[in-house]
């Protein structure tokens, strides 16, 4: 396999259970051994990365240094001691929003104590995809790393992540920004002509109707807390809007590598290619299909006598060749990684990292 040129952002996506997180980690390890500054981020709320890297859930939102010495050496790989590390981050929506708030807004930092935002930014509060875009764009803007390797949520939730930019853009539409500036201030400070214009906007945008609805169906005080939460978000809107440029970065072949991961031993090909078809509007054409857990090299010389064994061999080889054939039509490159059965997640990652180094 030819060495793949690293890019500022490398995205690993795919369906569940195919080895996406392990492969992303191996890529980060491999690039770190080449002396590059690497950040590995997971935005999948299941945080499988913590198991591979022996991180704790409490470390979410904090960049942790992972020494390369944690990974066992393989013949021809990592055989001499290396001082390198790579950084790893388990996304925490709360930590991302707090950082945005602390870095100040146009009005200066405001206390982050809104109960709605506190609940929404919990680990399973549902804001991972939106905050994931903001965090990744922030890390790219810092220009601290040569490569940011991104481990994404499985399946459809990866598409939710990709669509996050459009959602941010809709939410922070200039009309809504003006309205929430208005509702965030006391009425005495608003000029009559401005107030009239805002009332018209309130009605046409649906905000007035929404607030009336919320008054009817929620407890007392909720509407005020809701407005306060939205105003807080709007005060931080520059950070949200900066994340829009992330989508443009993804489309540039010079800026990003896309790795769609599937597994040779599972019936996931339809789902994998379906994911690619949906994501194609966000991707560029220079992309990789990664077929993990390949067995054909081990099976091709196997000539069993038993019919059931023949069936197993034919099935496994057929699944793999079907993936390769379909992949050749839709992807620029195909990468194959063999099935690796290791004693530990670290050993598994090391073995995969060695394969990235193969020329």
For another protein, the binding residues in 146-165 under the rule CB under 8 A are: 153-157, 160
Least distance in angstroms from the C-beta of 284 to another protein = 25
CA 218 vs. chain centroid, Å, equals: 34
With CA atoms as reference, report the closest residue to 10 among 226, 297, 283: 283
User: Footprint of another protein on residues 249-268 (CB under 8 A)?
Assistant: 265-267
Q: How many residues does the chain have?
A: 359
Nearer to another protein, 299 or 324 (CB): 299
End-to-end Cα, the chain, rounded Å:
5
Nearer to another protein, 78 or 294 (CB): 294
User: Footprint of another protein on residues 53-112 (CB under 8 A)?
Assistant: none
How many beta carbons lie within 10 A of that of residue 198, not counting itself? 18
Dist. CA 34–CA 133, nearest whole Å? 27
Site membership for another protein, residue 325 (CB under 8 A): no
Strands ordered across the beta sheet of 38-42: 64-67, 85-90, 38-42, 147-151, 9-14, 256-263, 288-294, 333-338
289 in Cβ contact with 275 (< 8 Å): no
Q: Could you tell me where the DSSP H helices lie in the chain?
A: 20-33, 49-52, 93-102, 115-120, 128-142, 156-162, 164-171, 174-183, 192-205, 207-217, 222-235, 237-242, 244-250, 269-279, 296-299, 307-330, 345-356
Is 89 in a helix, a strand, or coil? strand
Binding residue for another protein, selected from 318, 321, 325, 328, defined by CB under 8 A: 318
Dist. CA 356–CA 105, nearest whole Å? 42
Query: How many residues in the shown chain lie near another protein by CB under 8 A?
Result: 71
Binding residue for another protein, selected from 58, 83, 221, 359, defined by CB under 8 A: 221
CA 2 vs. chain centroid, Å, equals: 26
Nearer to another protein, 195 or 210 (CB): 210
Site membership for another protein, residue 329 (CB under 8 A): no
Site membership for another protein, residue 275 (CB under 8 A): no
Nearer to another protein, 44 or 135 (CB): 44
User: Which pairing describes strands 85-90 and 64-67: parallel, antiparallel, or unpaired?
Assistant: antiparallel
Least distance in angstroms from the C-beta of 19 to another protein = 8
Site membership for another protein, residue 210 (CB under 8 A): yes
340 in Cβ contact with 23 (< 8 Å): no
Contact region with another protein (CB under 8 A), list: 70-78, 174-182, 250-258, 350-358: 174-182
Binding residue for another protein, selected from 304, 325, 328, 358, defined by CB under 8 A: 304
User: Footprint of another protein on residues 8-27 (CB under 8 A)?
Assistant: 16-17, 21-22
With CA atoms as reference, report the closest residue to 32 among 142, 144, 147: 147
Is 100 in a helix, a strand, or coil? helix
Contact region with another protein (CB under 8 A), list: 2-10, 45-53, 134-142, 324-332: 45-53
Site membership for another protein, residue 339 (CB under 8 A): yes
Least distance in angstroms from the C-beta of 278 to another protein = 11
Nearer to another protein, 102 or 220 (CB): 220
Least distance in angstroms from the C-beta of 220 to another protein = 8
Binding residue for another protein, selected from 5, 65, 174, 216, defined by CB under 8 A: 216
What is the residue whose two structure tokens read 């009559």?
192
Least distance in angstroms from the C-beta of 213 to another protein = 6
Binding residue for another protein, selected from 299, 317, 324, 347, defined by CB under 8 A: 299
Binding residue for another protein, selected from 28, 40, 127, 136, defined by CB under 8 A: 127
Contact region with another protein (CB under 8 A), list: 63-71, 182-190, 204-212, 253-261: 204-212
């Amino acid at each position: 396999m030819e060495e793949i040129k690293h890019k500022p952002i490398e995205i690993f996506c795919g369906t569940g259970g195919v080895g996406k997180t392990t492969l992303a980690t191996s890529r980060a390890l491999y690039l770190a051994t080449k002396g590059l500054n690497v950040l590995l981020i997971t935005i999948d709320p299941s945080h499988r990365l913590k198991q591979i890297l022996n991180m704790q859930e409490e470390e979410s939102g904090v960049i942790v240094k992972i020494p390369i010495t944690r990974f066992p050496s393989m013949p021809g790989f990592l055989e001499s001691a290396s001082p390198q590390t790579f950084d790893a981050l388990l996304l925490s929506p709360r930590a991302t929003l707090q950082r945005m708030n602390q870095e100040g807004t146009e009005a200066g930092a405001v206390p982050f104590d809104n109960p709605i935002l506190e609940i929404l930014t919990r680990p399973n509060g549902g804001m991972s995809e939106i905050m994931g875009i903001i965090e990744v764009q922030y890390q790219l803007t810092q220009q601290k790393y040569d490569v940011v390797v991104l481990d994404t949520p499985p399946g459809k939730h990866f598409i939710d992540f990709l669509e996050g930019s459009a959602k941010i853009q809709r939410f922070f539409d200039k009309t809504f920004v003006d309205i929430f500036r208005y509702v965030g201030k006391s009425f005495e400070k608003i000029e009559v002509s401005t107030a009239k214009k805002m009332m018209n906007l309130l009605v046409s945008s649906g905000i007035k109707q929404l607030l009336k609805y919320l008054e009817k169906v929620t407890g007392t005080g909720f509407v005020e807390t809701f407005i306060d939460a939205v105003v807080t978000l709007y005060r931080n809107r520059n950070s949200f809007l900066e994340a829009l440029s992330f989508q443009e970065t993804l489309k540039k072949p010079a800026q990003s590598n896309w790795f769609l991961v599937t597994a040779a031993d599972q019936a996931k090909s339809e789902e994998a290619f379906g994911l690619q078809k949906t994501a194609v509007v966000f991707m560029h054409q220079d992309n990789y299909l990664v077929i993990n857990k390949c067995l054909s090299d081990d099976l091709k010389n196997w000539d069993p006598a038993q019919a059931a064994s023949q069936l197993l061999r034919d099935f496994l080889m057929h699944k793999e060749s079907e993936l390769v054939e379909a992949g050749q039509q839709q992807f620029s490159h195909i990468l194959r990684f063999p099935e690796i059965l290791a004693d530990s997640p670290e050993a598994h990652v090391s073995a995969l990292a060695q394969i990235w180094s193969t020329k």
